[in-house]
Amino acid sequence: MRGDPRPAPTRPDLFTRASDPVPEPDAARLLALVERRAGREPVGRILGHREFWTIDLALNPDTLEPRPDTETLVEAVLKALPDRNAPLRLLDLGTGTGCILLALLAELPNATGLGVDLSPGAVAAATANAARNGLAERARFQTGNWGAGLGERFAVVVSNPPYIPSADIAALDPEVREHDPLRALDGGADGLDAYRIIAAQLPDLLPPGGLAGLEVGQGQAADVTGLLAAAGLEPAGVFRDLGGVERCVLGRRRS
């Protein structure tokens, strides 16, 4: 309760003091939270933050709530890097909360990164999340249209772009449809609009041998692999999430 001088209860307190009466203001606050969840608001939105990989991320209405599936991309990229101590330069397109870039930086002590998002609100959230996780000195965020006009090459380019076909949006669970920003969900008629844009930009963003890692929707891995190949990238693996879905596609720019 705001202004309450008492320390917050610990986990053991919840068991040893389980029979203590709950103060009326605290009970009312709890019931209000329960009602929000009963209305299909996600727990992360109610709490205002979400854990991802080894970091904790604040959310706002302009950011997609990070999912465990996206950790598949982080894991795949890390496995593909021969030296985690190298001074790598990373780029995260459509960064949202900054989850992918910040998770990678947390594992790559000498890397630096840039996150780009069309939404100023998402850029503000990602910037705050970098500070929240002690990564502000190695991460920078800016508004932009994917990788257009950056004028720089990166050892690694990652993205979790919108990939849900437009016609499927209405059938999504309310937790997603009503609380995640539409621009972070809608991938166009076949769900591949953003991949076409990103693939066309990769030759200007990656040096020879540079790595691209993209999260994909169910059934899209083959199509996205084809788009990367058409852009001059060699296949570097398709990786499944814990549910067995092909969730991540890697490609390397040919030397």
- 69 annotated ligand-binding residue: no
> Residues 173-220: pLDDT tens digits?
888 788 789 899 999 999 999 999 999 999 999 999 999 999 999 999
More confident residue, 238 or 26: 238
Asked which of 44-58, 133-147, 239-253 is least confident by mean pLDDT, the reply is 44-58
**Cα angle value 173/178/181 (rounded, 5°):** 110
pLDDT at 228: 98
- 117 annotated ligand-binding residue: yes
> Residues 49-94: pLDDT tens digits?
799 999 999 999 999 999 999 999 999 999 999 999 999 999 999 9
pTM, rounded to two decimals: 0.87
User: Is residue 167's pLDDT more than 70?
Assistant: yes
Average the pLDDT over 133-141 and give the result: 98
Asked which of 21-35, 46-60, 138-152, 236-250 is least confident by mean pLDDT, the reply is 21-35
pLDDT at 15: 75
pLDDT at 8: 67
pLDDT at 2: 43
User: Is residue 100's pLDDT more than 90?
Assistant: yes
Provide the pLDDT confidence category of residue 244 given band limits of 50, 70 and 90: very high
Average the pLDDT over 111-118 and give the result: 98
- 160 annotated ligand-binding residue: yes
- 127 annotated ligand-binding residue: no
Q: What is the set of domains in the chain, with CATH numbers?
A: 43-253 (3.40.50.150)
- 61 annotated ligand-binding residue: no
User: Is residue 164's pLDDT more than 90?
Assistant: yes
User: Is residue 1's pLDDT more than 50?
Assistant: no
| pLDDT > 90 in the chain, percent | 76
User: Is residue 34's pLDDT more than 90?
Assistant: no
User: Is residue 37's pLDDT more than 90?
Assistant: no
User: Is residue 19's pLDDT more than 90?
Assistant: no
Q: How far is CA 66 from CA 100, 144, 157, 161, in A?
A: 9, 21, 18, 12
Tell me, rounded to whole angstroms, the distance of Cα 94 from its chain centroid.
9
Average pLDDT in the chain: 91
If one counts every other C-beta atom within 10 angstroms of the C-beta of residue 86, the result is 13
pLDDT at 10: 78
- 72 annotated ligand-binding residue: no
The residues near 106 (Cβ < 8 Å, ≥ 6 apart) are: 53, 54, 55, 133, 135
- 95 annotated ligand-binding residue: yes
